[in-house]
Chain A
């Protein structure tokens, strides 16, 4: 159908976006790769820059901060995923029920997603988790308990809590969209055959949601692997809340050890790509349909 003329026009129209993204991907990537093989301390004139071979990779990997940061990353990503997916399924099923004021409830539930990360982190840190004046401290004292110093006693769990609050709306909204596409006749038939609610959920609703759940998990993982502001303004990476992203940020910008940080960056890129491959497969399959 398309003529030669329209084909070349189409190529021309695509060019700006393709060229820009290609540059955005390749230029910094090549620079990061280059730095990762160098000894490079921009703020330390006494240290001579030079080739480092794989030293940076080995040192980043074997440094005492590496494995704890991987562990923290996994705990935060895993914790948030479990909380948002489980609560998201429950919430989506609740919101799918007939009720009055459904639209308003939907907005209330989605609202946290629109709050900028620095705001939600600071509001939780101060107005809820502050051990003296926070609302949770008031609540604890009301029940005669000793207020908890959330961000220093259970820092990782607190960050999981804050991030889950931000991402629950996303999971809920996507799962709700998926539930609404479920053929209700199927459930009615099952109910008529006397299938208990739990079985209906297990054998009809959950399989129907499986694709949406996979997408939620993959997309959230990509965003969660690089959460930054939530740690930056709450603990600043202290108390064992240093994720891989935060560790690299500290190496590169705080201690200006660019070579070491860049090697860490390459690890982060590889990690993200492993997740990305799975996501692309699902999205790619959808394109053919």
Chain B
């Protein structure tokens, strides 16, 4: 990862009438970084991305992209970004080749190099076989890829992807994620999503935005620390003695869920899993299921938004 800062956002706000959709956010992206932008619906993800791509003017604040100020030098800044909005901006009546040639022209790629740029983008996005087909006749997944090809055709330093995997089948999702990781090696990528595994699979930096405010800005390791499992789901055939489980070191509380299922909450510092298994074998409780409870995005969300204020400001700064 190099230290070249590609995107610098300072004190960015955007209001729609009286509603403040994005509130004074700051962040930066370096080359070789994939930044995941997480948040529930309506949190301000799309607004932020529209501002970064020049589709919306910010109410206050400054955006610098690859050294160009987005407001003072929009052409230089826009040259340095590739943007895939939520809905791919494709013309259904054009063929893939025609469309990509047009995009290459819009991004000021010289005539002689358009063909080469188009072929490279098509290859990267797995579109080599559909060049002569009408975009309107392609499936949603392929249209999404065409949108992606459009965003990378001029090899911009910064690539902005707004929910790139929505509406795709699982195989396509894996392919797109793989592609994003590949792109992240040479470019700076911002990816918005509300799917947590997607962030884990593709990003190295995570930001969580809620009600227009940046509530977390951390590396992926930091996020997994937030996600660290501190509960076990246990399935037992025979009714156990709850007090015995309670007695294992590290266990904070035990909840009986009925049908022999238990939820065991514990101190993350002391993992009681092994002790619990040994106990279950010893007492012949008939252990048939043992599962660490993964924290979902919602859990993290609740966790983060209810955390003490000091640690939050620490994380954002």
The finding on whether chains A and B are genuine partners in a shared complex, rather than unrelated, reads no
Residues of B within 8 A of A (CB): none
Residues of A within 8 A of B (CB): none
